[in-house]
Structure 1
Amino acid sequence: MAVGDPTVRTTPAVNETGEGTSTILQTRDLRKEFGGLTATDDVDLAVEESELRCLIGPNGAGKSTFLNLITGRLEPTAGSIYYDRFDITGLPSHERVDRGISMKFQVPSLYEEFTVRQNLRIPLQRAVESDVFEARTRELLDQFDLLTEIDEPATSLSHGQQQRLEIAMAMGLEPKLMLLDEPVAGLSVEETAEIADILQTIQAKEGVAFIVIEHDIDFVEMIADRVTVLDQGGIFTEGTIEEVTSNPDVKRIYLGEDD
């Protein structure tokens, strides 16, 4: 059969995220139930290559559950996850990492007894050859403005520096898709702007796609290509930041405003 022959059967994952598409991640009817509670309700979400997508919504909307389904920390009750030509719905977390998905969790995950260099070496050992460890370590720490702290213990870093180190560690896995859960929580306005600049530089120069959960709407306005609003486990609406923030229903359920 010739290439392009309509009789050639391809998988849904290839159709959704394969060659000829610009989509790197597609979920279909993704659902997660905990007993009688539906945390993620038949979510269909597409993320394009090199896109910076923000997820917003009230507490309990299902944002973190959704990210944990993508990473494999949770198994879906129903639905499918297609990523970069493959159906990864049943893959364990470590195989998803090997395919290029990394995540910075909301709860800090630094090894406090280790230095900055040692923390970064942990993901680098998985992703790059040993002969380039030092060069890649310095490159990442310079990119995240942490090079002068390379041999300092992680406990000596400020909260903002720890957040940057955790994102650097996620980048150390050489991802195609990075998931960030509230990366600027507790940061100052200046530190938040620094994180925004770093993410946009990574997106532009390295082509990494992002899904970012964030409550700081000012930060979302700085970085988002598109915004998806979750409510009660499902997608309420999505669009540009301007379209979303001008939506009166979004103002009501998320921003706490009334017309």
Structure 2
Amino acid sequence: MTARPSGEPLLEVSGLAVRFGGLTAVADVGFAIGRGEIHALIGPNGAGKSTVINCVSGFQQPSTGTIRLDGAALPRRNPVAVTRRGIARTFQTPQLFGRLSVADNVRVASQRLAGTRKASMDDRELIHLVGLAGLEERLADTLAYGQQRLLEVARALACNPRLLLLDEPAAGLAGEDNERLADLMRRIASRFEVGVLFVEHNVALIRRLSDRITVMHHGLVIASGAPDRVLGDPGVVAAYLGASDPEGVKPC
């Protein structure tokens, strides 16, 4: 099943499969993301979501299938080449240079652009955009957890991506940090026309933010489409949410 945005897709994944020996982690996964679209990839733990993210970002070699950005196939198992093509990502656990300052963390990321695309914002503007203004000289490992999450988003944006991959960006966040993250994701998508693919378990956040949702279960896509339709699908409720009413549920 492949969900397609209107117009030519920014990202198109087709027939994606990943096998580890006799284990099939992902089987025949397909979906597409448009420019400026926020697309959620959801499912229970072990569904294959992070494996898909790893394939798109070049950290995992697909067994079969194609991944195209703006119609051109992406390099396989080459994260640096994928980043230079216009895809940046965050991780489930922030991957920061803990003993470098906020400003230096962003500066290191922006230097990856040398000789490729021109950055749309300078480092200080990015730090301000994610809500870390005034903390430029703070060491990354002294930031609160929510601030570290935001710094990782700033580092990803410093790579001037066309597609931003966020792996469980709201994990461990609550209250104001969740609101700040949701607002930031909307601004990124609308202001820069960046496609956003995010893996998340917070159903309330998924419903609020997503333009479209793709649901995975046991390595397969079982539903894809508009949030209300997908989250109300009986198959999704049974396989993923495990409840008769998905509103507000935060599955593990």
Q: TM-score, normalised by structure 1?
A: 0.87
* Selected match of 2:99 from 113, 123, 133: 113
Alignment of structure 1 residues 13-28 onto 2, 5 Å: 21-28=7-14
Corresponding position of 1:46: 32
Corresponding position of 1:166: 152
Corresponding position of 2:192: 206
CA contact (8 A) 1:193 1:219 kept: no
* 2:153 maps to 1:183: no
Please give the per-residue CA displacement for 1:76-101, whole angstroms capped at 9, x wherever unaligned: 11111111121115362211111100
* 2:58 maps to 1:72: yes
Corresponding position of 1:13: none
Aligned equivalents of 2:208, 2:33: Cα separation in 1: 18
Please give the per-residue CA displacement for 1:187-239, whole angstroms capped at 9, x wherever unaligned: 01221111000010111111000100000011111210001100111110011
Aligned equivalents of 1:88, 1:138: Cα separation in 2: 30
Q: Secondary structure at the match of 1:149?
A: coil
Q: Structure 2 regions of 5+ residues with no counterpart?
A: 246-252
Aligned equivalents of 2:84, 2:98: Cα separation in 1: 25
Corresponding position of 2:140: 154
Please give the per-residue CA displacement for 1:2-30, whole angstroms capped at 9, x wherever unaligned: xxxxxxxxxxxxxx99xx94201111211
The percent of aligned pairs where both chains have the same amino acid is: 35
CA contact (8 A) 2:75 2:81 kept: no
**Bigger share in helix:** 1
The alignment of Structure 1 onto Structure 2 pairs a total of residues equal to: 239
Aligned equivalents of 1:36, 1:62: Cα separation in 2: 15
CA contact (8 A) 2:75 2:82 kept: no
Aligned equivalents of 1:238, 1:143: Cα separation in 2: 31
Aligned equivalents of 1:42, 1:149: Cα separation in 2: 45
Q: TM-score, normalised by structure 2?
A: 0.90
Corresponding position of 2:250: none
Alignment of structure 1 residues 61-140 onto 2, 5 Å: 61-90=47-76, 92-127=78-113, 136-140=122-126
* Structure 1 residue 127, shift from structure 2 partner: 2.2
* 2:58 maps to 1:58: no
* Structure 1 residue 245, shift from structure 2 partner: 1.5
Aligned equivalents of 2:208, 2:145: Cα separation in 1: 21
Corresponding position of 2:180: 194
* Selected match of 1:255 from 241, 246, 249: 241
Q: Secondary structure at the match of 1:199?
A: helix
After TM superposition, where is structure 1 displaced by more than 4 Å over at least 4 residues in a row? none
* 2:204 maps to 1:218: yes
Q: Structure 1 regions of 5+ residues with no counterpart?
A: 1-15
Corresponding position of 2:213: 227
Please give the per-residue CA displacement for 1:49-69, whole angstroms capped at 9, x wherever unaligned: 211100110111000000001
Aligned equivalents of 2:134, 2:65: Cα separation in 1: 46
